[in-house]
Amino acid sequence: MMGNITLGQYIPGESVLHRLDPRSKIIWTVLLMVAVFMINTWQEYVIMGAFIAILLIISGIPVKQSLKGLKPLVLILAITAILNIFFVKGTPLVKIGPVAITYEGLISAVMLFFRLVMLVVAASLMTLTTTPMAMTDGIERMMKPLERIGVPAHEIAMMMSIALRFIPTLMEETDRIMKAQASRGADFDTGNLLKRVKSFIPVLVPLFVSAFKRADELAEAMEARCYRGSKGRTRLKQIRFTMLDLKASLAGILFLILLFGPRFWLW
């Protein structure tokens, strides 16, 4: 289970993506996700897929590591694909009683699959190439103007960073508890859906206890180090935009023009 969660994990490196300012990565990851939702032709899918593949090669992150985040979403992907195949109206290919598999349904399911893959890889690239501390600093700096209206930017950024940091830890804890329960005779793989859900109750109780214990230990550690929020706090490493961020932004703008430009040229 631990190996299937890429969110919150960081792989050290010296690639261009590793050296970018975290604010640049956050902004362009969001823009890339929006662009993935906007594409609707095969040409745009090919261009977007090639661009994400280039980013993956530049980052030096193994493809297998980036795609591991898809495994927890297999069930959702399968259900959505089935709904598209059988319930999207269009040219029928195969009829099974009153239900028909349409050509448009198959195309929609395939496009949905590739769209989900690109979304997962894009999100994984940001977390795999950005340390939790850099992510916290980037989010806080981006939310800094909101402090004028009373929004606690530092606290929100810190909570998001801690949540990302402890996702892999909680997954590892869940895996450990499930193995311990399985060694005592627990069965998580047989029976109907209701029985499987009930079999996870002995896992959830110790998991919540462990999570609250870790939270209490973290709070005590922060208090022992005199943590009092952002007031008067300094940083060893200051984040700042560099020429590399400018070049990367220009490359991103050129890519968006290449991706969506033909729509306007054809009008």
Alpha-carbon distance 106 to 93, whole Å?
Answer: 10
Q: Measured between alpha carbons, how far is 66 from 122 in angstroms, rounded to an integer? A: 9
Name the phi and psi angles at 93, rounded to 5.
-105, -45
Report residue 66 as tokens: 């980036």
Q: For the range 224-230, what are the long-range contacts, defined as Cβ-Cβ under 8 Å and sequence gap of 24 or more? A: 229/154, 229/155, 230/140, 230/153, 230/154, 230/155
- The pLDDT of residue 232 is 63
As a whole number of angstroms, the longest Cα–Cα distance in the chain is: 70
Q: What is the pLDDT along the chain (267 residues), one digit of tens a residue?
A: 444 555 557 788 888 999 999 999 999 999 999 999 898 888 889 999 999 999 999 988 887 777 776 776 777 777 777 777 777 777 777 777 677 777 788 888 888 888 888 888 888 888 889 887 788 888 888 888 887 888 887 778 778 777 777 777 777 888 888 888 878 777 766 766 677 777 777 788 888 888 888 888 888 888 887 777 666 666 667 788 889 999 999 999 999 998 888 777 655
Distance of CA 31 to the CA centre of its chain: 14
pTM recorded for the entire structure? 0.74
Q: What distance in Å separates the CA atoms of residue 45 and residue 31, rounded to the nearest whole number? A: 16
Apex 59 CA angle, 56 and 62, nearest 5: 60
Token representation of residue 266:
């054809």
**Taking the alpha carbons of 90, 92, 94, 95 in that order, is the dihedral positive or negative?**
positive
Residues with Cβ within 8 Å of 206's Cβ and at least 6 positions away in sequence, in order, are: 177
CB 160 within 8 A of CB 139: yes
Kindly give the residue spans of alpha helices, DSSP state H, lying in 145-200.
Answer: 153-183, 193-199
